[in-house]
Amino acid sequence: MGVGGAAGAAGAAGTAGASAAGAGGAGLWDAVACGWELVGGQVSSATAESEDPAMLLLDGAPTIGYRQASFEVRLHTWGADSWSSTAPDPTDGQLTGLFYRAPDFCFDGSRVVMAYAHAGDSTADDETFYDRVFAYEYTVVDGWSALDGGDEVSQHWDSSEQVGYDADDPSVACAPGQAPAVAWIETDLTAEQDDDVFVAREVGGSFVSSDRINRVSAAGTYALVVDVELDSADRAYVAHFELAQDASFTSNLYVTRYDGTLLPLGGVVDTDQDTNQLSAPSLAVASENEVYVAYSADRDGDGQRDIYVQRWNGSEWSDLTGGPVSAFGADHYDSGQPDLILVDGTPVIAWDESNEYEGHFIYVARYTGTEWEILCDALNVDANRDARDPSLVFDPTTATLYAGFEENVDGYPEIFVRQLALGS
């Protein structure tokens, strides 16, 4: 990145209407004073790549989980003035090497729940030969313990039925008083010869899987990447990209509701013309008739990716603003890895974006009802360093928005967290 990165980042945010102070609305958004404060210093150790951050609150404290050195799990909680030492890795450094997200974390009000894909053993001659999805829970008192009796969440291996092969890229969702949901992608070696998406809910201590969620039954329509979220009525929602039939580079985005029965929410939400550059979609759910999905897509096949947010109103999908979310406007070059949450009912999104000459930068914006308003400047600790893959969580008790992200430091992506105080 060029020396002009700092000026470029600040200028981009300004042209997008970055100053949240004095913005329209009430309560939380009336008294926002710009200033994303760094929470401690670098969270991760400086020994290897630290990637795929997931922000959550653990008993009210900002907490971040991520992947370290490709195959290890890390989990830190913020104390009075520092990040805790990482909790022991329950996977024993056995994450798979294939990931859109690995591992993924959430908090259900009493415990952290983590889903991850365990790497297969190439020397085995049983189900352990394949990648499998597992779930663990964590509390400060008891540490990590396996869910489902230590059994895999994914489809159980059965060679005669040709099911239970490689399962990867899990997403997990929690809500207070509700069973967690885990969604993942799994190889199907039956006549379809594709990759399928499933979602499972914890029932009576065991995870019970849905049927195959893929929308197209024809061979070769691979599910590619997935996200899962819950609503207040204990229903799960799954967003996934799936290869279009007979189109090797085009993929379609779908959203499905699951309450024991699979219910498609409309048809194709959007189409991406360059499947090789997918980011995981991100869901936020207010109710069954108010579902939001954020995603990155190359709509025109010109190599330029944009962030879009669409809303389901119970009968159809529509763009929130009729166009992409962008900090750079006409200078935009590439955007990816969105994370969408609802803050007191308001959609808030984080993403990474570059312009033609600089980036990637991390931005956060809130939906005003008519447009996306950038919340202050770019979050990069150093505007001359590339930053990616943000994750958001909101603490309603302190009215604080937290954003975790990875930023390149001396050749390695490392983990940082910033916070922004909202109004009362």
SS3 359: coil
25-29, 72-76, 217-221, 311-315: least confident range: 217-221
At 21 the pLDDT is 35
Task: Give which of 338, 346, 272, 285 is closest to 314, Cα–Cα.
Answer: 285
Contacts of 205 (CB under 8 A, 6+ apart): 147, 148, 149
Q: What are phi and psi of 5, to 5 degrees?
A: -60, -45
CATH entry, 5-421, from 1.10.510.10, 3.40.50.1010, 3.40.50.720, 2.120.10.10: 2.120.10.10
Cα separation, 275 vs 15, whole angstroms: 31
Query: What is the average pLDDT value for the chain, to the nearest integer?
Result: 90
83: β partners = 78
- Pick the more confident residue, 423 or 120: 120
Band of pLDDT at residue 366, cut at 50, 70 and 90: very high
SS3 398: coil
**Is pLDDT of 73 > 50?**
yes
For range 293-322, the mean pLDDT: 95
**Is pLDDT of 98 > 90?**
no
Query: What would the pLDDT profile of 26-47 be if each residue is shown by its tens digit?
Result: 588 886 888 899 999 999 988 7
**Is pLDDT of 1 > 50?**
no
302 Rama sector, left if φ>0, alpha if ψ -120 to 50, beta otherwise: alpha
For range 80-87, the mean pLDDT: 94
Computed over its alpha carbons, how large is the radius of gyration of the chain? 20
Q: What are phi and psi of 64, to 5 degrees?
A: -135, 130
Cα separation, 71 vs 117, whole angstroms: 10
**Is pLDDT of 376 > 50?**
yes
Q: What are phi and psi of 60, to 5 degrees?
A: 85, -5
At 87 the pLDDT is 94
DSSP conformation class of 12: H
Contacts of 310 (CB under 8 A, 6+ apart): 269, 270, 292, 293, 317, 318, 319, 320
